[in-house]
C-alpha cells in the first residue's frame, strides 16, 4: 500500500462527518488540519517501529549472540526515529534527538564489545517505549472505527512487541510464567486487531492465535520446544504487519 495514499485516505475518513468542521465556512481549517493530523499519525507509527527495532536488537545481542544483527536493528531504530522526527512537533523532536543519541551510543558499545552494550540498548528502548506510548495516548484519535487500517497495524505491532518479550522470557524455565503473560498479551492484541482488519487478514490472525495457544501448551509442560514455536510465530507476525 502506498504510504502517502494510505495516510491521506485515513485522514479523509477521519474528517468526514466531523461535527466541529462545516464544509461551507471551514475549508481552510480542513486543509490545514489534514496535514497536521497526517504528520501526527506518521510520527506515532514511526515511534512504534523504532521501539520494536530496539527490542529486536536486545534479542539479537542477548539471546542470539549476533552483534551484527544487533547493530543492524539499531540502525533501523535510528532510521525510524529520524523519520518520526521529520513529522514531529518541536517538543517531540527534542525528545527524539535524545533517543537518537542513545541509539548511537548503544551501537558504539556493541561495536567495541563493551559490557554495558545491552544495558544501553535496554535504556534507550525503555525511553523510546515511554515516548511512543505517551505520544499515542496524547494523539487519542476519537474516531477509531473510521481509521481501521492504522489501528489494526498499531495493534499488530503491539502484539509483535509482546511476542518478542515472550521470546526473551522463554529462554529460561525460571521465567516461563512471564513468557505466558506476554503470550496472553499478544493474543489479546490480536483479538482487538481483528475488528479492524479485513476478511482476508482475519484467518491469518486466527492461525497466529492458534500457534500462540500451542506455544502456551509447550510452556506449561516446560518444554524447550516453546522457544522454537515462539520464533515461528514471530516470523508470521512480521509477515502479517507487511500485509495490506
* Mean pLDDT score of the chain: 85
Are 130 and 50 members of one domain? yes
pLDDT above 60 (res 14): no
Are 120 and 211 members of one domain? no
CATH number for position 243: 1.20.120.660
Are 125 and 207 members of one domain? no
pLDDT above 70 (res 13): no
Please tell me the total count of domains within the chain.
2
Are 115 and 178 members of one domain? no
pLDDT above 90 (res 6): no
Q: What is the pLDDT of residues 94-148, one digit of tens each?
A: 999 999 999 999 999 999 999 999 999 999 999 999 999 999 888 865 455 556 7
Are 77 and 159 members of one domain? no
pLDDT band at 153 (very low <50, low <70, confident <90, very high): confident
pLDDT at 37: 77
Are 216 and 187 members of one domain? yes
Single out the residue in 140, 157, 178 at which a domain terminates: 140
pLDDT band at 35 (very low <50, low <70, confident <90, very high): low
Q: What is the pLDDT of residues 182-200, one digit of tens each?
A: 999 999 999 999 888 878 8
Are 47 and 135 members of one domain? yes
Write out the chain in H/E/C secondary structure: CCHHHHHHHHHHHHHCCCCCCCCCCCHHHHHHHHHHHHHHHHHHHHHHHHHHHHHHHHHHHHCCCCHHHHHHHHHHHHHHHHHHHHCCCHHHHHHHHHHHHHHHHHHHHHHCCCCCHHHHHHHHHHHHHHHHHHHHHHHCCCCHHHCHHHHHHHHHHHHHHHHHHHHHHCCCHHHHHHHHHHHHHHHHHHHHHCCCCCCCCHHHHHHHHHHHHHHHHHHHCCCCHHHHHHHHHHHHHHHHHHCC
pLDDT above 50 (res 93): yes
Are 94 and 177 members of one domain? no
Task: Pick the more confident residue, 15 or 61.
Answer: 61
pLDDT at 61: 96
Domain that holds residue 82: 35-140
Amino acid at each position: 500500500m502506498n504510504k502517502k495514499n494510505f495516510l491521506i485516505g485515513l485522514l479523509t475518513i477521519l474528517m468526514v462527518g466531523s461535527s466541529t468542521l462545516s464544509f461551507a465556512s471551514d475549508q481552510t481549517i480542513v486543509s490545514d488540519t489534514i496535514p497536521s493530523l497526517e504528520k501526527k499519525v506518521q510520527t506515532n507509527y514511526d515511534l512504534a517501529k523504532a521501539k520494536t527495532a530496539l527490542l529486536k536488537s536486545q534479542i539479537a545481542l542477548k539471546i542470539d549472540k549476533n552483534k551484527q544483527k544487533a547493530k543492524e536493528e539499531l540502525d533501523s531504530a535510528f532510521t525510524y526515529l529520524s523519520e518520526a522526527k521529520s513529522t514531529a512537533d518541536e517538543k517531540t523532536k527534542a525528545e527524539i534527538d535524545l533517543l537518537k543519541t542513545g541509539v548511537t551510543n548503544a551501537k558504539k558499545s556493541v561495536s567495541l564489545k563493551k559490557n554495558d552494550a545491552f544495558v544501553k540498548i535496554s535504556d534507550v528502548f525503555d525511553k523510546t517505549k515511554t515516548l511512543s506510548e505517551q505520544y499515542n495516548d496524547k494523539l487519542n484519535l476519537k474516531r477509531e472505527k473510521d481509521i481501521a487500517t492504522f489501528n489494526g497495524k498499531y495493534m499488530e505491532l503491539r502484539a509483535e512487541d509482546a511476542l518478542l518479550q515472550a521470546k526473551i522470557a522463554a529462554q529460561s524455565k525460571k521465567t516461563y510464567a512471564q513468557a505466558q503473560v506476554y503470550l496472553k498479551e499478544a493474543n489479546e492484541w490480536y483479538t482487538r486487531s481483528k475488528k479492524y482488519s479485513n476478511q482476508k487478514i482475519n484467518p491469518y490472525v486466527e492461525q497466529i492465535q492458534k500457534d500462540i495457544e500451542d506455544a502456551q501448551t509447550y510452556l506449561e509442560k516446560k518444554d524447550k520446544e516453546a522457544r522454537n514455536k515462539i520464533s515461528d510465530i514471530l516470523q508470521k507476525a512480521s509477515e502479517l504487519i507487511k500485509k495490506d
